[in-house]
Amino acid sequence: MARVAAAGGDKRNRQLVLSKSALQFDQYRGKTFKWLLSNDVGYAAMVLTSHQQERGDTCSNIYSNAVTSAVMGNKDALLQYTDLFPDTVAVIRERQAREGSGTPAQEDKLLVSLIRWVRQKKDTHPGTKMEALQIYIKRSTD
């Protein structure tokens, strides 16, 4: 609302306020919602698809951390803004359908492929998450 007021805009205009709201997470932290939908709708679709899955999660302790709650609130606001644009909503729904349509057998096949790839990867750097994942997978599958 401060950005809208500073620009002389109407603070009661929800769409305008949301458009000037800034992302509070990840690589585009500080960019406005309007900027994101104008420049990387694919990233927005990925974030919101993941967010909606998190919101649908029955595990309530995911929201206990104040930082997590602030980020979740920011993503909720981004979702509200995105809902104002039917074309963007269609992109997100298509992505959700694509990601949520896998059968258990397809998901198992993907997981096995991922495990094989991680086990065969030779150029991991010591102390990285990839190395930790390799160690975990090797211990779990040996």
- Four-residue CA torsion sign, 59, 60, 61, 67: positive
Write out pLDDT tens, residues 49-93.
888 777 775 444 444 454 568 888 999 999 999 999 888 888 777
User: What is the reported pLDDT for 33?
Assistant: 94
Whether 52 contacts 96, CB under 8 Å: yes
| Residue 100, pLDDT score | 61
Those residues with Cβ within 8 angstroms of residue 59's Cβ, 6 or more apart along the chain or in another chain: none
Phi, psi values for residue 6, rounded to 5°: -65, -30
Q: Where do the H-state alpha helices sit in 57-103?
A: 66-82, 86-100
Cα separation, 111 vs 49, whole angstroms: 20
pTM of the model: 0.59
Contact 40, 31 (CB under 8 A): no
Is the separation of the CB atoms in 46 and 37 below 8 Å? no
pLDDT digits (tens, 9 = 90+) for 3-37: 777 878 888 888 888 988 999 988 999 999 999 98
Whole-number pLDDT of residue 80: 93
- When computed from its CA atoms, the radius of gyration of the chain, rounded to whole angstroms, is 19
Task: Encode pLDDT of 81-127 as tens digits.
Answer: 999 988 888 877 777 777 664 556 655 666 676 677 777 766 777 88
Q: What's the rounded Cα separation, in Å, for the pair 36 and 81?
A: 11
The predicted pLDDT at position 34 comes to 92
